[in-house]
Amino acid sequence: MPVMKVTSDIAELVLRGGQNLTQAEIADVRKRIPWIKAKAAYAAKGKFANLEPQADLLGDYVEDCLDGKFPGADDAAVMEACFALHYLSRGVDIIPDSIPELGYSDDASIVLCVMTSHEPEFRRYAESRGIEWSEQFHTI
């Protein structure tokens, strides 16, 4: 399968996923952010080192947006970040997390897609928090 097709499929999944999240799912993501960050830290010990700082940034961004601490947030970025965190929290998804070496590749791809799709928004957020934007935020 060509890379562009896979990339566009992931972007479509992220877009639709963000649009279709329910308020209950958003509330669940908000409540589970510390656990989701811990899961990303575990995954980062393997092949996906950048997943931890990316999930940390997305988790903080979602918390601050939902709590009204980051004014003027981009609604699409918030919803897609929620979707990425929701997807990361699931154990069984496109590639089950239990598969060694590959299990988090779909999760990392979803998170990276959100990070790159809304990079200006996340850069603005990082700057507001005093976080230096680096390579870790836009690679797997």
pLDDT, tens digit, for every residue of 31-71? 999 999 999 999 988 889 999 999 999 999 999 999 999 98
Domain total of the chain = 1
Give the integer Cα–Cα distance in Å for 92 and 67: 29
Packing angle of the helix pair 51-66, 105-117 (nearest 10 deg) = 50
pTM over 0.75: yes
Average pLDDT over every residue of 121-139: 92
Q: Which domain holds residue 123?
A: 3-137
What distance in Å separates the CA atoms of residue 10 and residue 93, rounded to the nearest whole number? Answer: 13
CA dihedral 41, 46, 117, 135 (to 10 degrees): 90
The per-residue pLDDT for 100 is: 83
Q: Which amino acid is at 81?
A: A
In terms of phi and psi (left: phi > 0; alpha: psi -120 to 50; beta: otherwise), the region of 12 is: alpha
N- to C-terminal Cα separation, the chain: 19
Tokens found for residue 94: 């496109």
Sign of the dihedral through C-alpha 39, 40, 42, 48: positive
